[in-house]
Amino acid sequence: MASRSSRSVSQVEPPPLVRRFLSHLAAERGLAPNTLAAYRRDLVSLVEHFNSTATTLEQARPHDFTGYLREQTRQGKSTKTLARRVAAIRVLLRYMSSEGKDVELILQHIERPKPERSLPKILSRTHVNELIAAPDPNSPMFSRDVAILELLYASGLRASELCELPLRDVSLQVGCVRVLGKGRKERVVPIGRAAGIAIERYISETRPTLDKQRSDRLFLSRTGRPLERVALWQLIEKYAKKSGLYSRGVSPHTLRHCFASHLLSGGADLRVVQELLGHADVSTTQVYTHVDSDRIRAVHRKFHPRA
């Protein structure tokens, strides 16, 4: 039997308090499974540290939590990871407070590290076209793969949103898709002519041969099951290699970045792009404006009285 230390965090069973907390998040906040899984991983990491120091969540003092965060830093965890784990801990502590535990002193001692904001990787329009042109026309999955690439670039969907997109939420006549995003917030996103044509071709030519189980999902695997996120990442990686873009770290999220950046460089309003991406805060969308400096300078030269 494997020792406790050799078990991965995902295999460790969280204590009752954490299980109650996760159930609360699922029931009261309607968080997506991927978000719940991230909370679970971060809190199990904390619990494992406390177990190694012979304490528990209920017994832990401020120095126990700060000690955990220092240990994470010594292990080389990134600022982004630390910020996420601090956020998970703070939400858990507020839940513990609602159960009657006095955690105010702990909250005061836990500092939020400033996350490192990494700039998104953006492909040029030419490179995006090369990526979309990479699928082999002789492949039985050609129309599906082209439809996936076109839709990712046309709509800026997250990988999970694309994989979970129901067929019924695609309106080719109107030219849009209805998306259930983070926090189960619904938004409607236009898809454009190229993506619409690609999806229509996939639905008419390829999807009927894959749909052996009468699935409600738009995109299916070779076996007829709903396409999974891992398979989507592998598909994008495959075509990135084929088009000579692998060294650029291309992923499904890269096409989401390209969607936003290319819209802004074309003159789209930041608030509109925020809505299309499903961002709760416009500051998240503003990261894309860094690639638009040429347009900003041109606007300044055109409109500033002393330019």
What is the chain's pLDDT, residue by residue, as a tens digit (307 residues)?
343 443 444 456 889 999 999 999 998 888 888 899 999 999 999 999 999 999 999 999 999 999 999 999 889 888 888 889 999 999 999 999 998 989 999 988 887 666 555 667 889 999 999 999 999 999 999 999 999 999 999 999 999 999 999 999 999 999 999 998 887 889 999 999 999 999 999 999 999 999 988 999 999 999 999 999 999 999 999 999 999 998 888 999 999 999 999 998 888 888 999 999 999 888 788 877 765 555 556 556 777 666 5
Which of 49, 127, 144, 256 is catalytic? The answer is 256
Span(s) in the chain for CATH 1.10.443.10:
125-300
> Is 304 a residue of the active site?
no
Using CA atoms, how far apart are residues 286 and 86, in angstroms rounded to an integer? 24
Centre a 10 Å sphere on the Cβ of residue 25 and count the other Cβ atoms it contains: 18
CA dist 146 and 139 (Å) reads 11
Catalytic residue among 225, 242, 253, 295: 253
Question: Is residue 158 annotated as part of the catalytic site, yes or no?
Answer: yes
Residue 152 CB neighbour total at 10 angstroms: 27
Name the CATH superfamily for 125-300: Intergrase catalytic core (1.10.443.10)
Active site residue 288: yes
253: annotated active-site residue? yes
Burial of 204 (0-12, 13-18, 19+ CB in 10 A): exposed
**Quick check: is 300 catalytic?**
no
- pLDDT, position 248: 85
Q: Where are the alpha helices (DSSP H) in the chain?
A: 16-24, 33-52, 62-74, 79-98, 104-109, 125-132, 142-155, 159-163, 192-205, 207-210, 229-242, 252-265, 270-277, 282-285, 293-303
Q: What is the CATH number of domain 8-109?
A: 1.10.150.130
* Nearest-angstrom CA–CA distance, 90 and 106: 9
Catalytic residue among 20, 41, 77, 182: 182
Among 158, 207, 257, 262, which one carries the catalytic annotation?
A: 158
Instruction: For the full predicted model, state whether its pTM sits above 0.85.
Output: no
**Cβ(86)–Cβ(115) below 8 Å:** no
Close Cβ partners of 250 (under 8 Å, ≥ 6 residues apart)? 121, 123, 131, 236, 237, 240
Q: Where does the chain hold its CATH 1.10.150.130 domain(s)?
A: 8-109
Which residues fall within 8 angstroms of residue 295, CB to CB, at 6 or more apart?
A: 264, 265, 267
Given a contact cutoff of 8 angstroms between Cβ atoms, the answer to whether 106 and 61 are in contact is: yes
CA–CA gap between residue 281 and residue 24 (Å, rounded): 24
122's tokens: 């953006």
| pLDDT for the residue numbered 94 | 93
> Given this model, what pLDDT does residue 126 score?
94
Residue 9: predicted pLDDT:
45
